Structure formats: C-alpha cells, structure tokens
Structure 1
Amino acid sequence: MKYRRGYYKKDGTYVQGHFVTKSLKKSKGRKTKKGCFGFAMLMLIILIAISCENDSDCDSNCSDFSSQTAAQSAFESNRSCYSNLDRDNDGIACENNNN
C-alpha cells in the first residue's frame, strides 16, 4: 500500500491525500490481450495436432498391412476410411496381398 500525496486541481480546489493499493491502479490491458492470444494460439495448435493424428490412419494402403486378413479387418472396421484398400469394390480388401 502506498500513500498518495494531496494535490491541487486546475480550478484551485485541494484533493486530500490517501492510501492507494495496487488493485486500484488501472491495468494497461496488454497483459490480458497477450494472454488471450497465447491461449488461442495454443488451442489452435492442439486442434491441428488432433486433426492430423486422426487423418493419418486413413491414408494407409495394402503395403502397410502384414497380411490380407489384417487389411480385411481394418477395412471392415471402417469402410469409409479404408475405401482405398478395396479397388474393385467387391468387399474384399487387398486381394493381391498374399502374406
């Protein structure tokens, strides 16, 4: 807490001195804006990381699977994501993968 001295206004009236705490001082506002911007950027980075993480599984092809049965089980779990595993649309994924 700090004591503020008394002073005279332009009209000649005297303002009595009083105690001033830090909470009564005006904040500049930059700290708040900077914090909000930093938080927004952090949330954007997290959302981008999550969206990229989910899309990477859908870009797989037949060579990513060790056998035809593994490719077929992945295809059956999510047909829209793994649609590129079934080229001729007969419901059998990676027919040429004989491992």
Structure 2
Amino acid sequence: MGYRKGYFKKDGTYVQPHFTKTGSKSYSGKNNGCLVLILITMTIGFAISCSDSSDSSNSNCPTKTCGDFKTQGQVQSTFDSNRSCYKNLDNDNDGIACENLPKNNQNQ
C-alpha cells in the first residue's frame, strides 16, 4: 500500500490524502508457494486414502496357499467362489488355480 498525498483539483476542491493499493490485483508470487504446498498435500492424502480403501476390500479374505489344499479340484472350487479374494492361488492368471497339485484324491 502506498500513501497518496492530498492535492487540489482544477476546480479548486481539495482531495484528502489516503492509502492506496499499489500492488497487482492478481495473486502475488509470495502466496504461490503455499498454494503449491496445499495442492501437493491434498494429492498425497487422496492417493493414500484411495490405496487404503482398495486394500480394505480384501482384508476379510482368509490367507490361503496351494499347500493348504490336497487336490487341484478343492483349490479350484475355492478359487472360483471368490476370484478376487483368492487371486494368489492362480500365479499365471490363466484361471486354473494351483496347477501343480494332483487332480483328485485317486492320483495320490
């Protein structure tokens, strides 16, 4: 802000001295750092909240491995019941879970 001195107009009237705004009406460079910091903080917070919500959907899934089953048929029926929950049972993503296990109890 600047101080404007009083002056006389051409018609003889006196204008009182007053403070005037001398800066630009746009955002100043001093505040841009705070704005960038706020945007970065919000972006990181949003990313964390999204990753937490996607992990919480699978938190109710029991942890199963191929060693927990005796036959491939048992694993396949469990895998087919909830593919998103038991996605670790199908390592090559071909839709067949634990391919190395025997097909049924007779093969053991």
Interval containing the TM-score (normalised by the shorter chain): 0.3 to 0.5
Structure (1 or 2) with the larger CA radius of gyration: 2
TM-score by length of 2: 0.40
TM-score by length of 1: 0.42
